[in-house]
Amino acid sequence: MYFCLYLYRVSYFPHNAKLCLKILFLVIRNGFVQKLCKRLCPELSIFHHVIEESSSPGIAGGGSSSDTEWKVLEREHRVYSYLSHCLVSPAKREDCILKPIGASSTDNYPYESIKHTLNPSDRGETGPSYWSSKGENDPEVPEILTYRLKSNLCIVSEIQIQPFKG
Q: CA angle 36-42-43, nearest 5°?
A: 125
Same domain? 111 vs 75: no
Domain match, 111 and 74 both: no
What is the percent of the chain where pLDDT is above 90? Answer: 7
Same domain flag for 84 and 140:
no
| pLDDT at 91 (0 to 100) | 65
69-123, pLDDT tens digit by residue? 888 899 888 888 888 887 777 766 677 888 999 999 988 888 888 888 877 666 6
The answer to the question of residue 76 being in a domain is yes
CA distance 45 to 83: 13
**Shared-domain flag, residues 41 and 114:** no
Tell me how far apart the terminal alpha carbons of the chain are, to the nearest angstrom. 55
- Verify that 78 and 111 share a domain, yes or no: no
**Cα–Cα distance measured from residue 60 to residue 39, given in angstroms and rounded to the nearest whole number:** 35
Looking at the structure, tell me whether residues 24 and 80 fall in a common domain.
yes
**CA–CA gap between residue 51 and residue 129 (Å, rounded):** 37
Q: What is the pLDDT of residues 45-70, one digit of tens each?
A: 887 777 776 644 555 555 678 888 88
Task: Tell me if 163 is assigned to some domain.
Answer: no
Residue 111 forms part of a structural domain: yes
The answer as to whether 79 is a domain residue is yes
| In a domain? residue 59 | no
User: Does a structural domain hold residue 58?
Assistant: no
> Measured between alpha carbons, how far is 144 from 146 in angstroms, rounded to an integer?
6
Count structural domains, the chain: 2
Residue 127: pLDDT band (50, 70, 90) is: low
For residue 3, what pLDDT band results from cuts at 50, 70 and 90?
very low
Answer yes or no: do 84 and 115 share one domain.
no
Positions of E strands within the chain: 97-103, 123-124, 127-128, 145-149
In a domain, 157, yes or no: no
Q: Are residues 6 and 74 in the same domain?
A: yes
Give the CB-side neighbour count of residue 31, counting CA atoms within 13 A.
Answer: 11
Helix (H) or strand (E) holding 82: helix 65-88
Same domain, 143 and 116: yes
Same domain for 83 and 138? no
- 139, pLDDT greater than 80: yes
Does residue 7 lie within any of the structural domains? yes
- The alpha carbon torsion through 142, 145, 146, 148 (nearest 10 deg) reads -160
Cα separation, 156 vs 97, in Å, equals 10
| pLDDT band (50, 70, 90) for residue 146 | very high
Domain that holds residue 117: 102-149
Q: In the 8-state DSSP scheme, what is residue 116? A: G
Separation of alpha carbons 109 and 131, rounded Å: 9
Q: Are 50 and 84 in contact (CB under 8 A)?
A: no
